[in-house]
Chains A and B, each alone.
Chain A
Amino acid sequence: MSALTVEIEAAGYGPATVLRDVRFEVPDGGRLVLLGANGAGKTTVLRTISGLCDAVGSVRLGETELLGLPPYRVAGAGIAHVPQGRGTFGDLTVRENLLVGGATRPRREAVAAADRWMERFPRLSERSGRPASGLSGGEQQLLAIARAFMSAPRMLLLDEPSLGLAPKITTDLFVTLDELGRETGTAMLLVEQNAEVALGIAEDAVVISSGRITVRGRADELRDNDDVRRAYLGV
């Protein structure tokens, strides 16, 4: 069964239409990567799903229609969205960041989950009482992902997790994401500039140009497709 069904007829910001006729599905536990040049509309797809854009069409999580809901209710429905730039709460401590991630759950569950995530990532537990603004880029991205999993989401949206990270740290990050996805069975929708790594952990891929889907297929096929390689992998 599909975790997420996206049938966007048009979406954008006010009078500016960015996306036209964008349709895809992500199965439960599945992973889809959205590729495309800068300004193609990848981020807008994620923001439309989360209720941050004006849109016509339908976006469903399981049977639940998300379009028209305010962002906080989309989150409550089971979507965790790590925005571009990670969305860290810089004034809050690391532990508080995790607790905010669990805001949709009962307090006691959230506290227990925060402890588990800090056990899982000792680097976060070492800094649990310090403001999150003091973390390095890689640590902040780790925190953002732990924060997203705090809500035990059905679907995780990740917007350019590799942005600003060194190649080695990016690789580690995707290994961690791959593990977490497998352990929790959370479906993922990834937007990534670094197509090589992203295609490595995804099953399906969609290429967007100028707000429309131009190529879709299995991730491994796209990885071997010469046109895609030239256009998006910089080869």
Chain B
Amino acid sequence: MLLQQLADGVATGAVYGALALAIVLVYRASRTLNFAQGELALLGAYVSWQLTAWGLPIWAALLVATAALAALSAGVERVLVRPLVRRHQALPLIIVTLGLMIALNAIIGWVWTYQTKEVPALFGSGAVEIGGVAVSRQDVGIVLTVLVVAVALGVLFELTPVGLRMRAAISAPESAELSGISTGRTMTAGWAIAGAVGAVAGTLIAPELFLHPGMMTPVLIYAFAAATLGGLDSPPGALVGGIVVGVIENLAGSYLPHGSDFKQVVALAIIVVVLLVRPQGLLGRREVVRV
């Protein structure tokens, strides 16, 4: 029973981690929290659903939705975000992402109604046995998919020229620009990748939660908890944080009295405690402020 709870926790945690990863990628690119990240992922899930409703196989639908959300997210950066980043308008920028969150949610409700939709599972039904524990194929598939995404991003950032440019632009933006790197382009790339990762996260979790316009709101809170726990500027931290939050959430839901009512409180408590005790998170970099 406990092992089963752990397995479930790891699987939902992987999705939280993926959305947290999207949040972290945007934070690294533009030093802002994208509150619309959840609704962008939701839009990804709806695009996937719509394409399957039109007859596309779910995996093809996922690929198209991922590409579409990458493009949309890049557009958001270019049109709404960049002008404010260039003028160092941090607070207005957060309000813009909040506004985008509300607007996207309303548009999604308007286009697809508030009725629950069923997204086909990506990995079929049934269970596999791992070490004596029956784990649903869906759970295993989710974890493996997030793992593949994580490895692909690791290779992109660490081993390719584009990844080096993006890391340079994050490490010292002005110096990168003076070295011939367009930091505008690397920022857009960061948002595009975040949009794609978010679309994967949304489509992965949709069969579990059932697709409706409110689906991503709690997921976004868990993802923020995961990103805070892992360290807002650390992609590996986001994934680790996601899995920890997923496991804690599952255990709290099962073992605390009235636990299922407390699940979101747990996420918020994690945010508060981390910010008080270790603001840079588990794997984040401590910001050095020179006076």
Binding site for B on A (CB under 8 A): 50, 52, 70-72, 75-76, 80-81, 83, 87-92, 96, 99-101, 103-104, 107, 147, 151
Contact = CB atoms under 8 A, between A and B. Distances in A.
A100 B178 contact: no
Given A87-B174, A89-B172, A90-B172, A72 B164 contact: no
Contacts of B178: 50, 71-72, 75, 80-81, 83, 87
A70 B82 CA distance: 15
A103 B181 contact: yes
Interface residues of B, number: 20
B108 interface: no
Interface of B: 161, 164-165, 167-168, 170-172, 174-184, 285
12 contacts: A70-B177, A75-B177, A76-B180, A83-B174, A83-B178, A91-B285, A92-B168, A100-B164, A100-B165, A100-B179, A147-B179, A151-B179
Nearest to B167: A92
Contacts of A101: 179
Interface class of chain B by DSSP = helix
Contacts of B171: 89-92
Nearest to B285: A91
B165 A52 contact: no
A180 B184 CA distance: 33
A50 B177 CA distance: 10
A77 to B, nearest CB: 9
Contact of A100 (B176, B182, B184): B176
Contacts of B172: 87-90
Contacts of A76: 180
A45 B262 CA distance: 60
A103 B165 CA distance: 8
B164 A75 contact: no
Contact of A87 (B165, B175, B183): B175
Contacts of A147: 179
